[in-house]
């Protein structure tokens, strides 16, 4: 059997070279970069915490000694826990910047996507709270590149209501130039729209009760124009139909220029269009109709708008559902503040790596394959095609 080439791992190690080792000199028995790479490899193979990382590393001792600098042997559990607890989460993410940039560039070329959809969405790790230390469950907002299957950044916040302040911070971490940023109603804020436009991105923002006057004004305007079939204004419409799992869903996307008499129009930087998505779903003979309203900096182009809306909905199935079901993230009992945040990032990043591998198997099967086969694991970690 051909042994994995060490050069492939050296290519990975370089991404951590600028990251400062947070340990005291006395605790630097094992090379810092090697500890981090072992953690990534173990999570790819199914590990869900420091104990599992340590157990996997012992079982894979032969492989790890071949591809990593481990002069003192395989690290114990406390080493992984100590390192991931001491690391500053923002600094830890930043060290992945060049790695993510290369993955994004490769995906852009392969998918021929010129204006990617970057979905900003929040997620809570429900069992990560610690009442004894007055630590609430970890809630974080992250950026998910829908077409690429890449998690580009993450910022933790105290609770869901704090997404309003966390989102601008998150957008500063990610290159959004030329992208379409989609955010649910919680993030529909003038300051957030301003940040997006100033960073040369476009936005599609959902409307709900938190922007009550604007929301109602958009509803009234679209309803008024619909009375005569939108004959008085330039409008774009797009219809889609989906069937499966005992249901049929028809969606109608309607987009039009934003009227300048909308409440606070001048304060929404870059605002150009408003839109509604009407979903008609029939399941077991019962019909349900739902309407969702949006404001956007996009020019008229309803298929592009529809792509953005679908891309945002895709974050649930393409990212959050996998993290909960496959990674069992919602059941995680990791409670130390930095540790749980850094581990949440490792989960998202390894999910991105799994999605980049060209194998047509499911993410679940790819992850199992990482645990079963060292060669497959190295392919996923390094991005080398089989």
Determine phi and psi for 45, rounding to 5 degrees. Answer: -85, 0
From the list 182, 191, 202, the residue with the least C-alpha distance to 164 is 191
* Distance set, CA 315 to CA 97, 143, 145, 198, 308 (Å): 21, 9, 8, 25, 11
Q: Which residues contact 172 (CB under 8 A, 6 or more apart)?
A: 195
CB-facing half-sphere around the CA of 123: CA atoms within 13 A: 24
Q: What is the rounded CA–CA span in Å between residue 95 and residue 81?
A: 19
**Model pTM score:** 0.88
pLDDT at 160: 55
Where is mean pLDDT largest: 134-138, 209-213, 326-330, 347-351? 347-351
Q: Which of 120-124, 189-193, 226-230 has the lowest mean pLDDT?
A: 120-124
Q: Name the architecture of domain 97-325.
A: Alpha-Beta Complex (3.90)
Split at pLDDT 50, 70, 90, the class of 350 is: very high
- In the chain, the percentage of residues whose pLDDT exceeds 90 is 62
From the list 207, 194, 164, 177, the residue with the least C-alpha distance to 269 is 194
Split at pLDDT 50, 70, 90, the class of 161 is: low
Split at pLDDT 50, 70, 90, the class of 98 is: confident
309-347 pLDDT, tens digit per residue, is: 999 988 888 898 899 889 988 777 766 778 888 998 999
pLDDT at 2: 46
249-273 pLDDT, tens digit per residue, is: 899 999 999 999 999 899 999 999 9
Q: Please compute the mean of the pLDDT values over residues 345-371 and round it to a whole number.
A: 95
User: Does the structure show a pLDDT above 50 at 6?
Assistant: no
3-state helix, strand, coil in the chain (%, to 5): 50, 20, 30
Residues of the chain with CATH 3.90.350: 97-325
Q: Please compute the mean of the pLDDT values over residues 94-121 and round it to a whole number.
A: 90
60-75 pLDDT, tens digit per residue, is: 999 999 999 999 999 9
Top-confidence residue, 321 or 161: 321
Q: What is the 3-state secondary structure (H, E, C) of 98-145?
A: HHHHHHHHHHHHHHCCCCCEEEEEEEEECCCCEHHHCECCEEEEEEEE
Number of Cβ atoms within 10 Å of the Cβ of 71: 9
């Amino acid at each position: 059997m051909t042994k994995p080439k060490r050069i492939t791992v050296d290519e990975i190690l370089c991404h951590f070279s600028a990251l400062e080792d947070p340990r005291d000199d006395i605790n630097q028995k094992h090379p810092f970069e090697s500890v981090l790479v072992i953690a990534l490899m173990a999570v790819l193979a199914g590990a869900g915490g420091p104990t599992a990382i340590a157990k996997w590393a012992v079982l894979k001792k032969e492989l790890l000694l071949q591809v990593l600098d481990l002069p003192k042997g395989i690290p114990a559990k406390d080493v992984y826990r100590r390192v991931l607890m001491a690391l500053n989460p923002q600094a830890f993410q930043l060290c992945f910047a060049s790695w993510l940039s290369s993955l994004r560039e490769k995906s852009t070329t392969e998918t021929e996507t010129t204006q990617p959809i970057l979905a900003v969405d929040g997620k809570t790790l429900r069992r990560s709270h610690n009442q004894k230390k007055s630590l609430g469950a970890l809630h974080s907002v992250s950026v998910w590149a829908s077409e690429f299957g890449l998690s580009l950044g993450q910022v933790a916040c105290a609770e869901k209501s704090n997404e309003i302040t966390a989102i601008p911070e998150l957008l500063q971490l990610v290159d959004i130039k030329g992208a379409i940023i989609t955010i649910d109603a919680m993030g529909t804020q003038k300051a957030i729209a301003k940040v997006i436009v100033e960073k040369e991105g476009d936005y599609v923002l959902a409307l709900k009760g938190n922007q009550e006057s604007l929301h109602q004004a958009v509803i009234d305007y679209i309803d008024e124009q619909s009375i005569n079939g939108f004959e008085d204004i330039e409008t774009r419409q797009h219809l889609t139909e989906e069937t499966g799992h005992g249901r049929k869903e028809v969606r109608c996307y309607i987009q039009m220029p934003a009227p300048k008499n909308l409440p606070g129009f001048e304060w929404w930087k870059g605002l150009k269009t408003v839109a509604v998505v009407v979903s008609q779903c029939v399941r077991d003979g019962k019909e349900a109709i739902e309407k969702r309203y949006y404001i956007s900096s996009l020019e008229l182009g309803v298929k592009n708008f529809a792509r953005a809306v679908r891309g945002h909905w895709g974050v649930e199935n393409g990212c959050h559902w996998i993290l909960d079901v496959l990674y069992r993230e919602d059941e995680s009992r990791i409670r130390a503040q930095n540790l749980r945040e850094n581990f949440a990032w490792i989960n998202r990043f390894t999910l991105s790596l799994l999605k980049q591998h060209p194998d047509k198997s499911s993410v679940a099967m790819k992850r199992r394959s990482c645990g079963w086969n060292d060669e497959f694991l190295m392919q996923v970690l390094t991005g080398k095609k089989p």
